[in-house]
């Protein structure tokens, strides 16, 4: 069924003309009708995009480049949504695609854009105090078990105030594999859905102004709290799942991958999704995502938008989403915040201090983007307070607990939701008695230890009182107790949960069944030697099952079985065999086993016979034919002198010969029904087929059974039949239920969408009766007895299509003994020509003998094509003369209206009627099969007195502040008309009387209800037209004069989703920052341009920065002098104020020792500061070298070393013996020679020394060299 969304889009038309420019270029969501097979092929640059010829041609005409499933998430609401990329610039893609019956809807992909007492509370965090967060922290001080998904541009996961609260995926490791099977590789801590990697942080170039939105939001929601660092957050250490929706290298505020970010948030198992972004475009696909998230218990929170209008924004206005407006420190609506009937709550959003990338680490931002994560964090706190609480209960308490701020917002009463959030009241609202609920196994084995789980909802702490009659223990006060049941039986369970506010009880009667699992095998079979038997095992208990069969010689083991009955192909068998179950267990314990299956061998001889039972099957997913043929044999002898018996044996795939042991009382020699069956009295598998399937593709099995009917049964037979389809791992997927004697099997089995890649099994089962005799007829055959005269055989197959409720004539060639069947919806059963009028598609077969005495079987497939379900939006309508009426038809592909008198669009589904006479109009609709349907509308003409007030616009209804608006009077009147216009306060003019008003200027931002009152001879008619005036705020700062080299901050706190650009960029710290720092280097005029991304409105402001008079000065540098000298520092201040670091103001400063000297010169506006270090050196550096020493260890003159009282380098002392041998060397000025050589004392006497070094105290380093004689005295 198609969904018409034209009415839903009426508002979007007025909004998205400006707001709606945010679409990802040339990408579309397309949803297929879930009742139809898949018709699109996935891939890039394919030659064929669809199995439907018309649709394929359309996709090629639009230059399609790529088609793929939009979501990996397994949910039926998203399963048939595709993402289609095209190159064509045509703008009618949606209109053309929606004409195809396979397409439920098509829509552009909207690209939404960002909106902008713990021991670590920052002084700037006024928002926490405003919502009474500190009292709330007294109730809940840890929310670390709750997960908030921040779906945004990026989150800096390494930020010191965020890192400890970043979620760690417990089921994933960094090994290049998708360990948790969620479709994302190595998603340890969130995911980058834009660049398809596991790094959700912004690029390294991110600053406080760029790529910082998500990081700021994450800090508001749940920065690490109570850690003596940075800031605190309302989320009280809830875990953050960072989801990056913006590609590295891109700029601006758009989030092209927000929809895949939401998908990951749902997959990750979060509790809250925070969405500080949006736009004016509604999307059915996004609404489906919200429904999926809500159904999984996720609370959705979104920003209402920053355009100061009452127009709805999305996702905030989607169903199941909490829409958040912004307020300031005085509880007044933030100047930028949207308002209106779609708002749910309001939260602080002006000048919010939070985390950002870059060196500053923290910054201010404003916007509903900041209000949204504050609500998200509070929701996390509420979930932690009452685990298991539903999204509906969260929203209810959140609204009930808001503070009323109407008094502060008289212009916006009832337009800011329930009020401003109050965290303490929200948690207090949850102080109610618990709701009891629990879960546990439904089946258990005797003496098995089982666990019952508390699922109750209520504020902690809670106490529990369990009752287990017949169990051990019979009662428990644990939250999740373990219990055993010794005796088989059916038992009830009760739980009473209590907290400080009351208690609640729940009792589930007959909740758990305790007993041994059971496996049963039964049935006796007679088959020809060498064939297989289809054994049937009935299993009762908790899957998976394991069992072992034994045939007297060998064991056969089977494990991991999930369904019952379970069929086994046993054989081939060449002797009488009895099969029993040796062992059996289910998932819990070993079980009981019973029964046996006895197989006898037949000794009949058989001959071949033709079987006209070919099936041509189509796998719609990949167009690969599936078919099978079955040869059969029969025995024309007369066992025991009785009538001939036909024995059918399997030679083809899928036929199980164990179940047709013979068909009696049929005489060979002509066309008749072959009866397959006469099997055991228990459920048996008659026919089966294995089919390979691929995950995500859809298969239609209805065509497999179009010619299968139960007929020709024995009188009194008790069998029934059923068709079942089993999945890859065993579970039952489809079942027809029991089919009666003559019930056609057509279309009992329909579509199956594979959840895994593998092999599924299709079975036809005989549901046995108490006395056996299970018959089954699958088709007609012609056969002969061995040795009899061989006649000729002919057959043909043809097909014809008709529309539903029509009939068609079928004819065969001249001959005799005509026999048509089935005898359903047919004019005759024995004529050459018949008229058939089937209600659904079916085969008709005629058996007859032609002129050549040949047996002929002609088969006709009559396909029933559906007629269109034509529907008119009107049946009888009154029309005033001179007026125009729109009539809409739906349900067909093409339309023809008649008569076409005063009718526009007679071949369209929508016509404009302006008839002046009473007229019945008939429309004939035709679908793609050529089938038609018709309907009629009666138009009754009246002469009316009309008064209709209509306001037209020469431009868009969304304007920027200061734009002039031209209103067009499109009213219809009947004379003496008076027009009164009311444009509202803040408009110039605000009132006007006359037909055509002057252009109007709106001087304040907001949404205006423009009213036109038309008064004429017919009465009064009033109409309204909404004008959304966008007032973008801009403030470049105050003109300033600065001293050269000074720093100054321009602008102010920015709105989170607005874009800011400064020109020129010279001397600014960041040209895209709403508040950059300028370094004074001379006069400069800066222009700030602010852009609202939704309306496109731009405003500019200019700030001038000029340089004050520079100080006249002469720099002085570091100086050196010889010790004992005096340095005079003299400064010519040129009449300016001078001050030394000592406070002295003289122009000369005297320095006599090492000193760091500071000076400040001021001209009254600017200062000059300089410093110099004055250092004094020993300019006369003479070493003191003794001429003798006595190394006798008396501590007096024991060693020889030159004493040098100045700074030196490259010191070297060498001592020689009287024979010129070097006996001592040192490069350490402090090392002494103690008169030894090689560890022994030298003799008394004279020794020569040589000393070299560099004096580095003098300005020019000087190499010194000395020598002399030192005497050793002992």
CA distance 569 to 533: 6
- Smallest CA-to-CA distance from 340 within 8, 11, 113 is with 11
| Residues 807, 835 contacting (CB under 8 angstroms) | yes
DSSP SS3 for 311: coil
Cα torsion for 482, 485, 489, 490, to the nearest 10°? -20
- C-alpha dihedral sign at 152, 154, 158, 160: negative
**Phi-psi region for residue 1042, left (φ > 0), alpha (ψ -120 to 50) or beta?**
beta
Q: Can you name the residues that pair with 988 across neighbouring β-strands? A: 1001
Q: Do 13 and 280 contact (CB within 8 A), yes or no?
A: no
Strand, coil or helix: 409: coil
1061 and 1039 in contact (C-beta within 8 Å)? no
- How many other C-beta atoms can be found within 10 angstroms of the C-beta atom of residue 1073? 23
Residue 73 and residue 261: Cα distance in Å, rounded?
Answer: 12
Q: How far from 393 is each of 396, 427, 796, CA to CA, in Å?
A: 5, 12, 68
Q: Rounded to an integer, what distance in angstroms lies between the CA atom of residue 959 and that of residue 1003?
A: 11
CB 523 within 8 A of CB 594: no
DSSP 76-130: TTTTTEEEEEE----S-HHHHHTTSTTEEEEEEEE-EEE----TT--TT-HHHHH
Decide if 1084 contacts 1105 (C-beta within 8 A): yes
d(CA 1242, CA 551): 111
Measure Cα distances from 790 to 668, 732, 787, 793 in Å.
Answer: 12, 47, 8, 9
Q: Cβ neighbours of residue 89 under 8 Å, at least 6 residues apart?
A: none
Nearest one of 315, 317, 316, 336 to 327, comparing CA atoms:
336
DSSP state of 332: P
Q: Closest Cα partner for 1215 from 1245, 1193, 1195, 1194?
A: 1245
Q: What is the largest CA-CA distance in the chain?
A: 155
- Nearest-angstrom CA–CA distance, 921 and 875: 10
Question: Cβ distance 94 to 103 under 8 Å?
Answer: no
Phi, psi of 807 (to 5 degrees): -125, 170
Contact status, residue 804 vs residue 931, Cβ threshold 8 Å = yes
Please name the helix (run of DSSP H) or strand (run of DSSP E) that holds residue 213, with its range, or none: helix 213-222
What single string gives the DSSP state of each residue in 422-442? -HHHHHHHT-S--B--EE--S
Cβ neighbours around 897 below 10 Å, total: 21
Beta bridge partners of 861: 799, 843
d(CA 80, CA 640): 62
Token duo for residue 1037? 């700062």
d(CA 773, CA 776) in angstroms, rounded, equals 10
CA distance 379 to 394: 7
Residues involved in catalysis: 152, 213, 369
d(CA 1175, CA 1193): 41
Which string of DSSP letters, residue by residue, matches 599-614?
Answer: EEEE----EEE-----
Report helix, strand or coil for 849.
strand
């Amino acid at each position: 069924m198609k969904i018409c969304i034209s009415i839903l889009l009426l508002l979007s038309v007025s909004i998205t003309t400006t707001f709606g420019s945010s679409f990802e270029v040339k990408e579309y969501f397309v949803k297929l009708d879930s009742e139809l097979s898949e018709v699109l092929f996935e891939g890039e640059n394919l030659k064929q995009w669809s199995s439907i010829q018309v649709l394929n041609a359309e996709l090629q005409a639009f230059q399609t480049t790529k088609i793929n499933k939009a979501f990996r998430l397994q949910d039926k609401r998203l399963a048939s949504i595709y993402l289609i990329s095209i190159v064509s610039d045509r703008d009618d893609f949606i209109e053309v695609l929606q004409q195809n019956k396979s397409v439920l809807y098509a829509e552009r992909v909207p690209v939404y854009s960002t909106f902008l007492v713990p021991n670590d509370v920052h002084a700037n965090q006024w928002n926490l105090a405003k919502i009474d967060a500190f009292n709330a922290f007294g109730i809940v001080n840890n929310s670390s078990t709750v997960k908030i998904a921040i779906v945004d541009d990026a989150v800096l996961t390494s930020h010191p105030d965020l890192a400890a609260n970043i979620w760690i995926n417990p089921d994933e490791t960094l090994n290049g594999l998708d360990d948790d099977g969620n479709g994302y590789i190595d998603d340890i801590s969130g995911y980058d859905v834009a660049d398809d990697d596991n790094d959700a942080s912004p690029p390294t170039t991110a600053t406080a102004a760029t790529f910082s939105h998500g990081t700021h939001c994450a800090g508001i929601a749940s920065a690490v709290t109570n850690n003596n660092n940075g800031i605190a957050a309302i989320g009280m250490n809830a875990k953050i799942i960072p989801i990056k929706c913006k590609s590295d290298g891109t700029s601006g505020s758009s989030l092209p991958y927000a929809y895949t970010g939401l998908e990951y948030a749902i997959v990750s198992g979060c509790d809250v999704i925070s969405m500080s972004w949006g736009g004016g475009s509604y999307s059915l696909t996004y609404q489906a995502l919200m429904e999926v998230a809500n159904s999984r218990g996720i609370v959705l929170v979104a920003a209402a938008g920053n355009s100061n209008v009452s127009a709805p924004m999305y996702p905030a206005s989607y169903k199941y989403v909490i829409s958040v407006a912004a307020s300031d420190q005085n509880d007044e609506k933030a100047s930028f915040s949207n308002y209106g009937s779609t708002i749910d709550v309001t939260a602080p959003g002006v000048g919010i201090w939070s985390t950002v990338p870059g060196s500053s680490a923290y910054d201010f931002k404003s916007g509903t983007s900041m209000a949204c994560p504050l609500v998200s964090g509070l929701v996390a706190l509420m979930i932690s307070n009452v685990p298991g609480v539903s999204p509906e209960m969260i929203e209810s308490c959140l609204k009930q607990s808001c503070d009323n701020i109407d008094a502060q917002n008289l212009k916006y009463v009832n337009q800011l939701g329930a009020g401003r959030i109050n965290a303490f009241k929200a948690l207090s609202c949850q102080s109610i008695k618990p709701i009891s609920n629990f879960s546990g196994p439904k089946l258990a084995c005797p003496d098995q230890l089982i666990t019952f789980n508390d699922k109750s909802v209520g504020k902690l702490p809670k106490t529990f009182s369990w009752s287990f009659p017949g169990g051990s223990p019979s009662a428990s006060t644990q939250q999740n107790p373990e219990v055993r049941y010794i005796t088989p039986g059916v038992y009830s369970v009760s739980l009473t949960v209590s907290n400080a506010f009351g208690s609640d009880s729940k009792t589930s009667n007959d909740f758990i069944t305790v007993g041994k699992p059971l496996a049963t095998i039964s049935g006796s079979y007679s088959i020809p030697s060498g064939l297989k038997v289809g054994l049937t095992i009935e299993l009762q208990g908790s899957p998976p099952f394991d069992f072992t069969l034994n045939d007297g010689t060998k064991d056969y083991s089977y494990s991991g079985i999930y369904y019952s009955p379970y069929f086994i192909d046993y054989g081939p068998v060449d002797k009488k065999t009895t099969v029993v179950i040796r062992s059996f267990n289910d998932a819990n314990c070993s079980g009981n086993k019973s029964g046996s299956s006895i197989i006898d061998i037949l000794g009949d001889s058989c001959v071949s016979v033709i079987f006209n039972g070919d099936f041509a099957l189509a796998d719609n997913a990949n167009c690969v034919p599936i078919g099978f043929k079955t040869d059969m044999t029969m025995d024309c002898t007369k066992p025991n002198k009785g009538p001939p018996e036909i024995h059918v044996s399997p030679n083809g795939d899928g036929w199980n010969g164990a179940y047709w042991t013979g068909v009696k009382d049929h005489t060979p020699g002509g066309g008749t029904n072959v009866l397959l069956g006469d099997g055991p009295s228990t459920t048996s598998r008659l026919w089966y087929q294995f089919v390979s399937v691929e995950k995500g593709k859809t298969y239609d099995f209805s065509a497999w059974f179009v010619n299968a009917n139960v007929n020709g049964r024995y009188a009194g037979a008790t069998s029934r039949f059923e068709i079942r389809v089993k999945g890859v791992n065993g579970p039952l997927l489809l079942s027809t239920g029991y089919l009666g004697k003559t019930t056609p099997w057509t279309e009992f089995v329909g579509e199956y969408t594979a959840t895994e890649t593998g092999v599924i099994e299709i079975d036809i089962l005989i549901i046995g009766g108490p006395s056996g005799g299970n018959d089954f007829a699958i088709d007609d055959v012609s056969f002969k007895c061995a040795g009899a005269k061989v006649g000729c055989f002919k057959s043909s197959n043809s097909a014809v299509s008709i529309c539903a409720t029509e009939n068609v004539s079928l004819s065969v060639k001249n001959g005799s003994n005509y026999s048509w069947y089935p005898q359903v919806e047919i004019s005759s059963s024995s004529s050459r020509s018949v008229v058939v009028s089937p209600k659904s598609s079916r085969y008709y077969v005629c058996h007859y003998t032609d002129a050549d005495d040949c047996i002929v079987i002609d088969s006709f497939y009559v396909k029933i094509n559906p007629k269109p379900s034509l529907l008119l939006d009107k049946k009888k309508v009154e029309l005033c003369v001179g007026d125009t009426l729109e009539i809409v038809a739906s349900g067909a592909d093409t339309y023809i209206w008649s008569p076409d008198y005063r009718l526009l669009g007679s071949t369209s589904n929508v016509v404009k009627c302006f008839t002046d006479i009473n007229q019945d109009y008939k429309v004939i609709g035709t679908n793609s099969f050529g089938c038609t349907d018709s309907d009629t509308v009666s138009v009754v003409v009246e002469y009316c007195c009309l008064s209709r007030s209509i306001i037209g616009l020469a431009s868009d209804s969304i304007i920027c502040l200061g734009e002039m608006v031209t209103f067009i009077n499109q009213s219809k009147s009947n004379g003496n008309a008076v027009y009164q216009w009311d444009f509202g306060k803040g408009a110039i003019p605000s009132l006007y009387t006359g037909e055509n008003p002057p252009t109007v200027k709106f001087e304040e931002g907001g949404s205006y209800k423009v009213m036109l009152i038309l008064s004429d001879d017919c009465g009064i008619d009033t109409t309204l037209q909404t004008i959304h005036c966008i007032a973008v705020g801009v403030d470049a700062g105050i003109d300033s004069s600065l001293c050269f080299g000074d720093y100054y901050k321009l602008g102010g706190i920015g709105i989170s989703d607005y874009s800011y650009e400064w020109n020129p960029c010279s001397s600014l710290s960041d040209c895209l920052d709403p508040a950059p720092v300028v370094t004074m280097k001379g006069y400069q005029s800066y222009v700030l341009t602010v852009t609202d991304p939704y309306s496109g409105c731009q405003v500019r402001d200019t700030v001038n920065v000029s340089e004050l008079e520079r100080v006249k000065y002469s720099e002085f540098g570091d100086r050196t002098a010889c010790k004992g000298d005096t340095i005079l520092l003299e400064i010519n201040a040129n009449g300016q104020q001078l001050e030394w670091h000592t406070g002295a103001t003289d122009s000369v400063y005297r320095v006599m020792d090492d000193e760091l000297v500071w000076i400040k010169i001021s001209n009254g506006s600017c200062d000059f500061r300089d410093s110099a270090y004055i250092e004094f050196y020993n300019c006369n550096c003479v070493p003191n070298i003794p001429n003798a020493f006595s190394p006798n260890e008396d501590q007096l003159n024991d060693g020889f070393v030159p004493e040098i009282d100045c700074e030196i380098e490259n010191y070297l002392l060498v001592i020689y013996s009287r024979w010129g041998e070097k006996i001592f060397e040192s490069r350490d000025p402090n090392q002494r020679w103690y008169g030894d050589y090689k560890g022994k004392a030298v003799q008394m006497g004279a020794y020569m020394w040589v000393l070299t070094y560099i004096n580095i105290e003098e300005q020019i380093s000087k190499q010194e060299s000395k020598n002399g004689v030192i005497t050793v005295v002992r």
